[in-house]
Amino acid sequence: MRFRKYWPLLLLVALSVVFAQDRNARRGRPGEFDYYVLSLSWSPEYCAGPNGGRDPGQCGERRQFGFITHGLWPQYERGGWPQFCSAEPMDNRLIDGLLPLMPSPRLIRHEWSKHGTCSGFDSAGYFRLVRKAYESVGIPQRYRRPGDAIRQSPSELRAAFRAENPPLPEDGFAVYCTGRFLSEVRVCLDKDLKPRPCGSGIRDGCRAPELIVRPVR
């Protein structure tokens, strides 16, 4: 009888463990994917959250980042992605040179393990690709180092990105928010890092009519 009282909670815990394991399960083969997603994270939003206080490399005093590279992710056209495709180690000598783009050694190592190993390149080749992808996307002037919060509609932000990047198709990127605050822009690129339409699952994630872009401090 006591077991019956608690079985819904035990079932929930068991399912949570299974789902967590599935999120970290190895799937896919290196080089076998359809296109890339370049994830540009808005650093002030990350630093305003609970993890920011534990990340002095990105969020410490005088660390005034705007858009940073969260990752370059191999994707499947139909949705989903390969991950943890091999156990190939990363060359840790690369980290210092990547910090202006990805200001967290922990993030760099994670992105290599989860996504870079699926690219078909070694770590040096993959992070050269990450840099090239980041440099291929123009950041509109207004969002480079804003000293004050920006309030506008998601469509206005989208229009600014398209104006700065004329080859970018309307369905070639997506804007994401945490509540009303801008958190990320994802740009879809083919294997030659040319803009292309996004596949299934890459859609705008800002629901409020007005989004807020936190200032760079």
Contact 137, 163 (CB under 8 A): no
- What residue type is assigned to position 159 of the chain? A
Residue from 32, 77, 88, 111 carrying the catalytic annotation:
111
Q: Is 110 designated active site?
A: no
- Give the closest residue to 214 by CA, choosing from 148, 163, 169: 148
Cβ burial, residue 37 (10 Å; 0-12/13-18/19+)? buried
Cα–Cα nearest to 176, from 46, 63, 73, 80? 46
- Bridge partner residues of 205 (DSSP): 176
Pick the catalytic residue: 45, 88, 115, 135? 115
Backbone phi, then psi, for 5, in 5-degree steps? -65, -35
Q: Please name the helix (run of DSSP H) or strand (run of DSSP E) that holds residue 59, with its range, or none.
A: helix 56-59
Helix (H) or strand (E) holding 130: helix 123-136
**For residue 33, which phi and psi values (nearest 5 degrees)?**
-160, 180
Residue 19: burial class (beta carbons within 10 Å; 0-12, 13-18, 19+): exposed
Told to judge if 70 belongs to the known catalytic residues of this protein, a careful annotator would answer: yes
Q: Please pick, among 70, 77, 135, 164, the residue that the annotation labels catalytic.
A: 70
Catalytic residues, which ones?
Answer: 70, 111, 115
